[in-house]
Structure 1
Amino acid sequence: MPQLKIEITSYWHSGTGRGRGSQVDAITHRNIHQLPSLPGRTIKGLLRDAVYRWEQFGGYANQQMTNAPTITEGLFGPFGGATWPGLLRLSDAQLPLAEREALIGQQPLIAGLYRNYFSTAIDHKSGVAQESSLRGMELVIPLTLYAQIELIPNAKYLDLQPHWYKLLSRALPLVQAVGSHRTRGLGRATLTLEGGA
C-alpha cells in the first residue's frame, strides 16, 4: 500500500483544542497509546492546498487526463456545496509499527517524546512581561511519521487513478511544514511518497 513519509525536522504541535489544566494550555494530538500522531484530515488539507497551488501555478499543463473540474477536486473532492468522494483517503500519520510496539506501555520513554514550551507577551514600553500572558504549549520532538494512502473505489473521477501518484509527487515540495504554528518555525518537514502507485 502506498504511504506518505513525513520527516519532521523541528519541534511540532498538532493541536487538539485541549489543555492540561495549569501545566500547558495546548496539548498535542495522540493516538490511543499516547504516542504522537498527525490526523489524516490535517494531512489531507495540507496536500489539498499543495495540489491546488501547484495547479494554479500551471504545474499540471495537461489536464486532459480527467473529466473532473480540477485535479484538486478529482483527488480530494469539491471545496464546498455539492459533495462527491475524491480519489484519495489518508490515515493518521503514525510512528513506524516497530517503534510503536517498542514504546507501548513504556511511559518514561513516551514522556521523552514531548516537551513543554512557554512564551509570554512583552510590553514594548516597559520591557516587562504583560500580565496574564504566559502560555504553555506541548511540543513533540522531531520524528518521522507514516500515513497510509488508500484509493477510494467509488470516487467520482476514477480516471485520475493511473496518474494520482505522479500528480501528488509534483506538489509535495510545496508542503514545507506540518501542524500548527507552521509560519512561526514549528513543524518543518519533508514529505515523500513511498510504495508505488
Structure 2
Amino acid sequence: MTLRYELKFFDYWHAGSGLSGGAALDNYVIKDSRGLPYMPGKTIKGLAREVAEMFWDESKIHKCFGKQSDQKGQDSDDTTMGECYFSNATIEESVAEEITANNLTQNLFDLISSTRIDENGIAVDKSLRDTEVTIPVTLQGSIDNISQDDMEDMKKALKMIKRAGLNRNRGLGRCEFVVKGQS
C-alpha cells in the first residue's frame, strides 16, 4: 500500500546538501535540478524510524525500515533492506512550475547566522557560521510498500514528528505531517 502525505513547515528549515560555500556560506540547502528545495526520502525514513523505535516491536521495525549489521563498516548477512520506500518530499508540481516560470526560486531561501558563545557570554573568534535556510513551505511525498497491518502505525509515527532537518533541536524545522490518503 502507498501512503501520501504533506509535510508542512511552519518555520525556517534546512535539509543539508553536504556542500559548503567556503568563506561565503557554511551550509547549503539541498536542491533539485530546478533549484527547488526538497526533503530527502532517507531523512524522512530516519525521522519515522526514530519515532517507530519508541513504540514498534523490533521485528516490525526491521521489516519496514531494514536492519543494519551489528558489525560497523562491514557487510554482513544480517543487514537487510526494509520493505517500505520513502520518496523525496517535494513542492507540488503546479506550484514548482509557477515558481520557476516566474524566476521566484531565490525567494524561497534566506540566511541565518550563528556563533559560539564562551562561558563569559562573549562570541568565540572565528565561530560565526552562515546557514542557508528555506522559508516555510508545504512539500508532498509518499511511502510505498507499507503492509496493511503497518499502515495505522506508520500514520501515527508521521504525526509524532514535529521537527525536521538541521538544528531541529535548536529551533529550526517545526513541521507537521498530514496524511492525504492511501491506496
Aligned: 1:134 with 2:151: no
Q: Deviations over 1:29-55 (max 9, x none)?
A: 111111011111111111111111122
TM-score for the superposition, normalised by structure 1: 0.81
Counterpart amino acid of 2:90? Q
In the other structure, the counterpart of 2:143 is 149
Contact 1:29 1:36 in 2 (8 A): yes
Equivalent residue of 1:103, what SS?
helix
Determine the C-alpha separation between the residues in 2 that align with 1:122 and 1:106: 41
Q: Deviations over 1:113-159 (max 9, x none)?
A: 0001111223443x5432111110001101111112221xxxxxxxx
Counterpart amino acid of 2:91? L
Q: Deviations over 1:156-196 (max 9, x none)?
A: xxxx7222221201222321111111100110111132222
Aligned: 1:93 with 2:94: no
Moved over 4 A (4+): none
Aligned: 1:167 with 2:153: yes
In the other structure, the counterpart of 2:166 is 180
Identity %: 29
Gaps of 5+ in 2: 70-75
Query: Larger C-alpha radius of gyration, 1 or 2?
Result: 1
C-alpha RMSD over aligned residues: 1.9
* Aligned residue runs from structure 1 range 1-197, under 5 A: 2-55=3-56, 70-80=59-69, 81=76, 82-107=78-103, 109-125=104-120, 127-151=121-145, 161-197=147-183
Determine the C-alpha separation between the residues in 2 that align with 1:13 and 1:96: 18
Contact 2:4 2:179 in 1 (8 A): yes
Determine the C-alpha separation between the residues in 2 that align with 1:190 and 1:97: 20
Of Structure 1 and Structure 2, the greater strand share is in 2
Contact 1:33 1:105 in 2 (8 A): no
Counterpart amino acid of 2:107? G
Q: Number of residue pairs matched? A: 175
Against the structure 1 CA distance between its residues 166 and 129, is the aligned structure 2 distance closer, same or farther, given a 3 Å change threshold? same
Determine the C-alpha separation between the residues in 2 that align with 1:30 and 1:84: 29
Structure 1 residue 105: Cα displacement: 4.9
Equivalent residue of 1:191, what SS?
strand
Gaps of 5+ in 1: 57-68, 152-159
